[in-house]
Amino acid sequence: MSQLQPLKRPGVGPPSGGGPALNQGGLLALAAMATLLAGCLGTMPVPWAGLNRQLEQAGGHRDPALGDGWLAVIEQRGGRQQVVLIDLKQQRPVAVPGLNRPDALPISVSVDARGERLALVRQLEGRTEVVLYRRGLMSLQPIAMGPGTVPTAVQLRADGRQLAVQVSRAGLWQIDLLDLP
């Protein structure tokens, strides 16, 4: 039986110093890869220090939803949770009269691109429901989900005319897509 011997190729292998050899082509390839990787990384994200500090000082926040210039979050303050809509240009909350109830627990929120419509899943009086809030009208409209359906999350389309609702139905996670008036 003969033993296998490593293949010897000219120009490849350790130089006299004992380390791996890099010829000019290898160096160019390495430089090209480094350039490509740097291009893929792009610029690093920059946090909004002022707004982030305001949110941190206000209490706990969860379930963020972004519209063009709007941020909707569920805020926990003083043992109570409520939906807060923030104007990102002004970096301050705007009023949403009639949206939050002291006896309701918000679960999920979504905002359209204009900050005009907010969809909300909330628990109220032992049931989970979906509601649509129209900020300009200060009106809250319940959205019927059908028997045996428990909504858990919502996502409004940017124009506010469609709503995707994640539901639990018969032990399965499902998505209901609804057209809105």
Q: Looking at the domain assignment, is residue 27 inside a domain?
A: no
Q: Looking at the domain assignment, is residue 5 inside a domain?
A: no
Q: Domain count of the chain?
A: 1
Contacts with 31 (C-beta within 8 Å, 6 or more apart), sequence order: none
Q: Looking at the domain assignment, is residue 97 inside a domain?
A: yes
Q: Looking at the domain assignment, is residue 160 inside a domain?
A: yes
Per-residue pLDDT reduced to its tens digit, 160-180: 999 999 999 999 999 999 999
The predicted structure's pLDDT at residue 79 = 84
Q: What is the band of 3 on the pLDDT scale with cuts at 50, 70, 90?
A: low
Single pTM value for the model: 0.72
- The domain of 125 spans 49-179
Q: Looking at the domain assignment, is residue 1 inside a domain?
A: no
Calpha distance 157→138 (Å, rounded): 20
Q: Looking at the domain assignment, is residue 139 inside a domain?
A: yes
Q: Looking at the domain assignment, is residue 17 inside a domain?
A: no
CATH of the domain at 59: 2.120.10.30
Q: Looking at the domain assignment, is residue 132 inside a domain?
A: yes
